Amino acid sequence: MKRRTLIGTAAATAVAPKAFAQGPTEKVRKLNLYSWPQAAFPQSYQAAQLIAQQWRQLGLEVEVKPLQRQAQTQLIWFSRDKWDVTMWRMVGRPERSDPDEFLYSLYYSAYAEKGYNFIGYINPEYDKLAEKQRTQLDKEERRKTAFQMQEIINRDQPQAFLVHPKYVTAFNKAVFKEDTVVNQQGIGIRNIWTFLTIQPLGAQKDLIINSNETINATNPLYIGGAVDSWVTDLVWDRIMRIGPDGMPRPWAAESVNWVDDKTVEIKLRPGMKWHDGKPVTIDDVIFSFEAPAGTKAPMYKPFVTDIAAMEKVGDMGLRFKLKSVNTTFLTASLAKINLIPKHIWEPVLKDLADKPETAEQLKEVSKIGSGPFKLVRWAPTEEIVLEKFPEHFNAPKIDRWIMRIVPNAEATLGMLKKGEINFLGMFGGDVDVLAKFAKDNPDIATRTEVDIGFEYVAFNNRRPPFDDVAFRRALSLAIDRRLMVSAAWQDYAIPANSHVSPVLSYWHDPAVDSMKTGLADAKKILQDAGYRVVGGKLYYPVGKQEKLTTE
Angle made by CA atoms 439, 443, 444, in degrees to the nearest 5:
60
Nearest-approach distance from CB 96 to another protein, in angstroms: 11
C-beta of residue 427 within 8 angstroms of C-beta of residue 169: yes
Going by the DSSP 8-state scheme, the letter that residue 329 receives in this structure is H
Which member of 380, 428, 510, 536 binds another protein (CB under 8 A)? Answer: 380
How far, CA to CA in Å, does 61 sit from each of 87, 290, 387, 538? 17, 55, 58, 8
Which member of 363, 442, 514, 516 binds another protein (CB under 8 A)? Answer: 363
- For another protein, which is the closer residue by CB, 222 or 489? 222
Amino acid found at 113: E
Q: Which of residues 66-105 bind another protein (CB under 8 A)?
A: 69-71, 73-74, 77-78, 101, 105
Q: Which of residues 300-329 bind another protein (CB under 8 A)?
A: 302-303
Alpha-carbon gap, residue 142 to 103, rounded angstroms: 12
Alpha-carbon gap, residue 535 to 377, rounded angstroms: 67
- For another protein, which is the closer residue by CB, 414 or 535? 414
- Residue 200: how many CB atoms within 10 A of its CB? 17
Which member of 418, 514, 516, 547 binds another protein (CB under 8 A)? Answer: 418
The contact mask relative to another protein for 217-236 (x = CB under 8 A, - = no) is: x-x--x-xx-----------
Nearest-approach distance from CB 239 to another protein, in angstroms: 19
- For another protein, which is the closer residue by CB, 242 or 415? 415
Nearest-approach distance from CB 219 to another protein, in angstroms: 8
Which member of 390, 407, 428, 510 binds another protein (CB under 8 A)? Answer: 407
Which member of 358, 366, 446, 448 binds another protein (CB under 8 A)? Answer: 358
What residue ranges in 364-477 does DSSP mark as E strands?
373-379, 383-388, 400-405, 423-424, 444-450, 454-459
User: Of the ranges 208-216, 269-277, 283-291, 467-475, which one interacts with another protein (CB under 8 A)?
Assistant: 208-216
* Torsion over CA: 463, 464, 468, 472 (sign): negative
How many residues sit close enough to another protein to count as binding (CB under 8 A)? 56
How far, CA to CA in Å, does 161 sit from each of 88, 90, 179, 299? 10, 11, 34, 29
- For another protein, which is the closer residue by CB, 224 or 518? 224
Alpha-carbon gap, residue 196 to 31, rounded angstroms: 50
- For another protein, which is the closer residue by CB, 437 or 531? 437
Nearest-approach distance from CB 328 to another protein, in angstroms: 12
Nearest-approach distance from CB 363 to another protein, in angstroms: 6
- For another protein, which is the closer residue by CB, 458 or 485? 458
C-beta of residue 546 within 8 angstroms of C-beta of residue 29: yes
* 400 touches another protein by CB under 8 A: yes
C-beta of residue 509 within 8 angstroms of C-beta of residue 161: no
C-beta of residue 425 within 8 angstroms of C-beta of residue 190: yes
Nearest-approach distance from CB 191 to another protein, in angstroms: 21
The CA-based diameter of the chain, rounded to the nearest angstrom, is 82
Q: Which of residues 102-131 bind another protein (CB under 8 A)?
A: 105, 111, 114-116
C-beta of residue 440 within 8 angstroms of C-beta of residue 58: no
Residues constituting the chain:
551
Which member of 148, 216, 229, 448 binds another protein (CB under 8 A)? Answer: 216
Q: Which residues bind another protein (CB under 8 A)?
A: 69-71, 73-74, 77-78, 101, 105, 111, 114-116, 206, 208, 214, 216-217, 219, 222, 224-225, 298-299, 302-303, 356-358, 360-363, 377, 379-383, 385, 400, 402, 404-408, 410-411, 413-415, 417-418, 420-421
